[in-house]
């Protein structure tokens, strides 16, 4: 990933140089706070969003349906999604380290120690309910946070239920 | 389409179903099984999905209802259960499997995605073997190959209210652990499907990882089927074995008719999902493609990394598997019939029975061992079978008294002693039946805290068999019984052999009068002598 970022930097700035040594914390702070490049400009460089690269109306409609969202503001979504796709295209041009395991695409510790039998049994045994997480049955009433509820159930109107 | 519909409705359930030689059925199964862990898959809220009727949304944590900012927390008890199943199915547990998000929008899916395993499932491969001898399939043996097992979370439940066009959502079931087991399309007839479902259901119960009930939805079977390799159809919403079978029959006939009519290229071109409404399959939706689900690795959950040592440890901790138990029970010294062996090895749903399979099997094995130790090589293998499987279980069901409670009064050692007394003819079979019922009834009435003293009971009730029967006394009893029969014609019928049955009635009267202490054969011989029986 570091290699990739370095290349973004190089590609955008064409040249790079090592500046003078920082003398104090204030200089570092000032340096970090001063923008040297713009993400927006970076994205627009080379391949701007054009009407041809925007996702089609039918794709937007399909995605909205799959996500259970109202089918409206299509043009606005085309613009937004078009930019996101362009960003992904840019990412794909980067020279990332091929050795990175895709399974590491997570916030958790990447290299888990393999569990032994005793550890597995111990973890399976560990079943402490945390009231702070609402895990104790009846310790909180979720439906109270809902706009609409009935006899302890959340209420959903049919229009929202239908997968179209 | 209407043409087909009418035709099937009129035939299903009325004609015997037969597969046609020119139309090859190919089926695979996807079975979702709820794990009966104490708590849910990604939270520690209580796993009790059937509480919804009385207390909807009672067993829900912040994560289960997808409050923003909550994080999943993996429950390793589900991992342990999944490992048990994988090992029992000869499936290879991945040393590093991962959770992924499957996105789809539905009211009972509060996260907007289901956490499942798409890219690296929990285990791959494996099989279940079906045999003619144990499972009653037509082939000698058949391996049903398993593609993979994946762990995933269940959704909530929605109850549709037609009157106000709303759905009531209960999230007690949300985030309950499930295992999805997918087979290869190895099934080619209905018997195989039926046997497999029964076998798999018994296995999950035997391993103690699920109730395996279809009726409650703890186990849900989807069938993927095609005829003559046209596009597959997935059948869903099949609430019990009977529905599964009838839905496959219906769908087979529907597809055969489409092929015969020449419309297959059009009507069976695309995969679709169909439901079962009790009389026919109906289209639910076109099958989503994988890309529609927008799978992505769940960045908030760790990979599941199990060492080979952990898998080995789980394997060693498994109980003996049902097929092995059946083979063992059907061999010497038990020599049980398949039917009786299945009573000891196959788990029923347990809703209305007074025992679970494990405790009954242990009781049988232990009692058998103690009985054979008492009587030595002259043991009669049928005695423990009849007295445990038929007499004891029959009484427990009649009294609605659980085996676990009965064991306090009648542990294996006492039951073996009872069998020994019957074996040595120290107590007649009739007396033993009375005694057994009395013991169980008394145990149910009062809280028995120790095993009964059989010898004492037999002496108190004078149930011991009369070893030396006075022939004169026996003759007098029989004469008294004959004198009470007001039908000379009946007695003549017995004598001539025209009506043999009533002799049993006379013997029964003798057994009643002697309280079962005199052997029935002695009564029968005396009656025959007195009536001048010629046969």
| Each residue's pLDDT tens digit, B75-90 | 999 999 999 999 999 9
Q: Any chain B CB within 8 A of the CB of A52?
A: no
CA proximity to B252, closest of B274, B285, B284: B274
CA proximity to B368, closest of B336, B323, B321: B336
- pLDDT score of B467: 64
- pLDDT score of B3: 42
Q: Which of B41, B107, B158, B163 is the best mutation test for A, with the most CBs of A within 10 A? A: B107
- pLDDT score of B230: 94
Q: Any chain A CB within 8 A of the CB of B77?
A: yes
Helix-helix angle B338-345:B322-330, to 10 degrees? 140
Looking at residue A22, the DSSP 8-state letter turns out to be P
For A115, phi then psi, to 5°, come to: -75, 140
Q: Mind telling me how many Å the CA of B279 is from chain A's nearest CA?
A: 24
The mean pLDDT of chain A is: 80
Chain B stretch 147-176, residues whose beta carbon is closer than 8 A to a beta carbon of chain A: 158-160, 165-171
Q: Alpha-carbon distance B224 to B240, whole Å?
A: 16
A46-69, pLDDT tens digit by residue?
Answer: 655 555 578 999 999 988 888 878
CB B94 within 8 A of CB B124: yes
CB B172 within 8 A of CB B58: yes
Which tokens in the block code for residue B334? 């038990």
Going by pLDDT thresholds of 50, 70 and 90, the confidence category of residue B427 is: confident
- pLDDT score of B12: 42
B203-240, pLDDT tens digit by residue?
Answer: 999 999 999 999 999 999 999 999 999 999 999 989 99
User: Measured between beta carbons, which residues in chain B are less than 8 angstroms from residue A120?
Assistant: 76, 79-80, 83, 306, 310, 313-314
Q: Alpha-carbon distance B474 to B520, whole Å?
A: 11
- Between strands B157-161 and B96-97, the pairing is unpaired
Compute and round to an integer the Cα radius of gyration of chain A.
25
Give Cα separations from B370 to B34, B272, B328, B379, B390 (angstroms).
39, 59, 18, 11, 19
Question: Do residue B302 and residue A123 have CB atoms under 8 angstroms apart?
Answer: no
Q: Mind telling me how many Å the CA of B404 is from chain A's nearest CA?
A: 26
CA proximity to B119, closest of B287, B292, B288, B298: B298
B150-190, pLDDT tens digit by residue?
Answer: 999 999 998 888 888 889 999 999 999 999 999 999 999 99
CB A113 within 8 A of CB B306: no
Given a cut of 80, is residue B17 above it in pLDDT? yes
Percent of chain B, pLDDT > 70?
A: 94
Q: Any chain A CB within 8 A of the CB of B53?
A: no
Q: Mind telling me how many Å the CA of B38 is from chain A's nearest CA?
A: 8
- pLDDT score of B505: 85
If you count residue pairs, one on A and one on B, with CB atoms under 8 Å apart, how many are there? 169
CA proximity to A87, closest of A16, A8, A3: A8
Q: Mind telling me how many Å the CA of A27 is from chain B's nearest CA?
A: 36
Q: Alpha-carbon distance B440 to B392, whole Å?
A: 9
Q: Alpha-carbon distance B307 to B149, whole Å?
A: 18
Which tokens in the block code for residue B74? 């993996």
- Give B316-325's long-range contacts (Cβ < 8 A, gap of 24+): B318/B84, B318/B87, B318/B88, B318/B207, B319/B206, B319/B207, B319/B358, B321/B88, B321/B203, B321/B206, B322/B199, B322/B202, B322/B203, B322/B206, B322/B346, B323/B129, B323/B134, B325/B361
What does the pLDDT average to over B308-334? Answer: 96
Given a cut of 60, is residue A11 above it in pLDDT? no
Q: Mind telling me how many Å the CA of A131 is from chain B's nearest CA?
A: 9
What is the residue-wise DSSP string for B183-216?
A: E-S-B-SHHHHHHHHHHHHHHHHHTTS----TTT
Going by pLDDT thresholds of 50, 70 and 90, the confidence category of residue B476 is: confident
Interface predicted TM-score of the whole assembly (ipTM), two decimals: 0.80
Q: Any chain B CB within 8 A of the CB of A127?
A: yes
CB B347 within 8 A of CB B205: yes
What does the pLDDT average to over B435-455? Answer: 85
Given a cut of 60, is residue A8 above it in pLDDT? no
User: Measured between beta carbons, which residues in chain B are less than 8 angstroms from residue A102?
Assistant: 119, 297
Cis ω for the linkage preceding B333 (within 30 of 0): yes
Hey, how many other C-beta atoms are within 10 angstroms of the C-beta on B208? 15
Given a cut of 50, is residue B1 above it in pLDDT? no
SS3 category, A147: coil
What does the pLDDT average to over B130-137? Answer: 95
Q: Alpha-carbon distance B375 to B385, whole Å?
A: 16
Q: Mind telling me how many Å the CA of B299 is from chain A's nearest CA?
A: 3
Looking at residue B281, the DSSP 8-state letter turns out to be E
Give Cα separations from A81 to A55, A74, B53, B107 (angstroms).
7, 10, 43, 25
Q: Any chain B CB within 8 A of the CB of A146?
A: no
User: Measured between beta carbons, which residues in chain B are less than 8 angstroms from residue A116?
Assistant: 307, 309-310, 313
Residue A82 burial by CB count (10 A; 0-12/13-18/19+): exposed, middle or buried?
A: middle
Q: Any chain A CB within 8 A of the CB of B119?
A: yes
- pLDDT score of B353: 76
Give Cα separations from A87 to A35, A41, A82, A106, B333 (angstroms).
20, 12, 9, 20, 74
For B441, phi then psi, to 5°, come to: -65, -45
Percent of chain A, pLDDT > 90?
A: 37
Question: Do residue B46 and residue A107 have CB atoms under 8 angstroms apart?
Answer: no
B357-390, pLDDT tens digit by residue?
Answer: 889 999 999 999 999 999 888 899 999 999 999 9
CA proximity to B156, closest of B231, B64, B74: B64
Q: Alpha-carbon distance B450 to B428, whole Å?
A: 25
Give Cα separations from B192 to B199, B241, B322, B339, B465 (angstroms).
10, 12, 18, 19, 51
- pLDDT score of A108: 72
Q: Any chain A CB within 8 A of the CB of B122?
A: no
Given a cut of 80, is residue B201 above it in pLDDT? yes
Output B355 or B192, whichever has higher pLDDT. Answer: B192
- In chain A, the residue whose alpha carbon lies closest to the alpha carbon of B69 is A133
Facing B61 at nearest CB: one of A109, A123, A134: A134
Question: Can you state the percent helix, strand and coil of chain B, rounding each to 5?
Answer: 45, 15, 40
Q: Mind telling me how many Å the CA of A51 is from chain B's nearest CA?
A: 24
Q: Any chain A CB within 8 A of the CB of B283?
A: no
What does the pLDDT average to over A133-148? Answer: 93
The mean pLDDT of chain B is: 89
- pLDDT score of B470: 79
**In chain B, what are the domain boundaries?**
39-176+189-205+288-318, 320-460, 471-531
Query: Rounded to an integer, what is the distance from CA B503 to the centroid of its chain?
Result: 42
User: Measured between beta carbons, which residues in chain A are less than 8 angstroms from residue B307?
Assistant: 114-117
- pLDDT score of A88: 82
Given a cut of 70, is residue B53 above it in pLDDT? no
Question: Can you state the percent helix, strand and coil of chain A, rounding each to 5?
Answer: 50, 5, 45
């Amino acid at each position: 990933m570091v290699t990739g970022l370095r290349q973004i930097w190089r590609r955008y700035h064409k040249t790079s140089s090592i500046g003078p040594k920082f003398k104090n914390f204030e200089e570092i702070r000032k340096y970090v706070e001063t923008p040297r490049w713009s993400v927006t400009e970076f994205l627009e460089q080379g391949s701007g969003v054009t009407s041809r690269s925007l996702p089609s109306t039918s794709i937007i409609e399909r995605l909205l349906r799959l996500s259970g969202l109202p089918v409206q503001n299509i043009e606005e979504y085309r613009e937004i999604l078009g930019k996101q796709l362009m960003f992904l295209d840019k990412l794909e041009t980067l020279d990332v380290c091929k050795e990175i395991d895709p399974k590491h695409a997570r916030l958790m510790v990447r290299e888990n120690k393999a569990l032994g039998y005793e550890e597995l049994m111990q973890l399976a045994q560990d079943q402490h309910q945390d009231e702070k997480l609402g895990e104790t049955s009846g310790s909180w009433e979720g439906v109270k946070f809902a706009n609409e509820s009935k006899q302890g159930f959340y209420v959903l109107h049919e229009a929202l239920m239908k997968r179209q | 389409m209407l043409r087909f519909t009418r035709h099937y409705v009129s035939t299903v359930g009325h004609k015997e179903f037969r597969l046609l030689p020119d139309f090859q059925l190919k089926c695979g199964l996807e079975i979702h099984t709820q794990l009966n862990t104490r708590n849910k898959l990604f939270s520690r809220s209580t796993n009790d999905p059937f509480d919804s009727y009385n207390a909807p949304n009672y067993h829900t944590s912040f994560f289960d209802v997808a409050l923003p900012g909550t994080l999943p927390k993996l429950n390793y008890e589900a991992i342990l259960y999944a490992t048990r199943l994988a090992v029992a199915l000869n499936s290879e547990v991945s040393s590093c499997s991962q959770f992924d998000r499957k996105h789809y929008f539905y009211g009972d899916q509060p996260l907007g995605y289901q956490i499942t395993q798409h890219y690296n499932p929990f285990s791959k491969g494996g099989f279940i073997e079906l045999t003619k001898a144990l499972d009653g399939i037509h082939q000698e043996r058949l391996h049903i190959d398993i593609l993979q097992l994946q762990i995933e979370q269940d959704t909530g439940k929605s109850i549709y209210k037609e009157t106000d066009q709303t759905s009531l959502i209960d999230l007690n079931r949300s985030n309950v652990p499930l295992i999805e087991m997918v087979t290869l399309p190895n099934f080619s007839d209905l018997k195989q499907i039926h046997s497999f479902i029964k076998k798999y259901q018994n296995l999950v119960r035997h391993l103690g990882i699920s109730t395996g009930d279809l009726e409650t939805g703890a186990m849900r079977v989807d069938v993927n089927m095609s005829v003559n390799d046209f596009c597959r159809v997935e059948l869903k919403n099949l609430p019990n074995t009977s529905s599964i079978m009838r839905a496959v029959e219906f769908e087979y006939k529907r597809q055969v008719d489409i092929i015969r009519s020449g419309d297959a290229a059009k009507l069976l071109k695309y995969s679709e999902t169909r439901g079962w409404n009790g009389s026919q399959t109906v289209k639910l939706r076109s099958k989503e493609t994988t890309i529609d689900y927008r799978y992505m690795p769940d960045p908030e959950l760790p990979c599941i990394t199990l060492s080979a040592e952990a898998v080995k440890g789980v394997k060693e901790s498994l109980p003996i598997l049902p097929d092995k138990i059946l083979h063992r029970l059907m061999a010497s010294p038990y020599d049980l019939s398949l039917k009786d062996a299945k009573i000891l090895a196959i788990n029923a749903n347990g809703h209305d029975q007074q025992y679970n399979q494990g405790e009954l099997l242990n009781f049988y094995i232990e009692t058998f061992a103690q009985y054979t130790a008492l009587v030595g090589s002259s043991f009669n293998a049928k005695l423990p079978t009849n007295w445990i499987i038929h007499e004891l279980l029959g009484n427990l069901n009649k009294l609605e008294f659980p085996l676990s409670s009965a064991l306090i009064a009648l542990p294996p050692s006492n039951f073996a002693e009872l069998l020994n007394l019957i074996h040595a003819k120290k107590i007649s079979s009739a007396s033993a039946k009375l005694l057994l019922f009395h013991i169980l009834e008394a145990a149910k009435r009062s809280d028995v805290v120790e095993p009964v003293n059989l010898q004492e009971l037999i002496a108190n009730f004078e149930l011991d068999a009369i070893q030396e029967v006075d022939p004169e006394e026996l003759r007098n009893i029989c004469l008294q019984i004959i004198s009470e029969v007001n039908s000379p014609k009946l007695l003549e019928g017995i004598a001539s052999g025209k009506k043999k049955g009533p002799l049993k009635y006379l013997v029964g009267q003798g057994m009643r009068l002697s309280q079962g202490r005199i052997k029935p054969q002695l009564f029968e011989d005396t009656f025959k002598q007195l009536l001048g029986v010629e046969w």
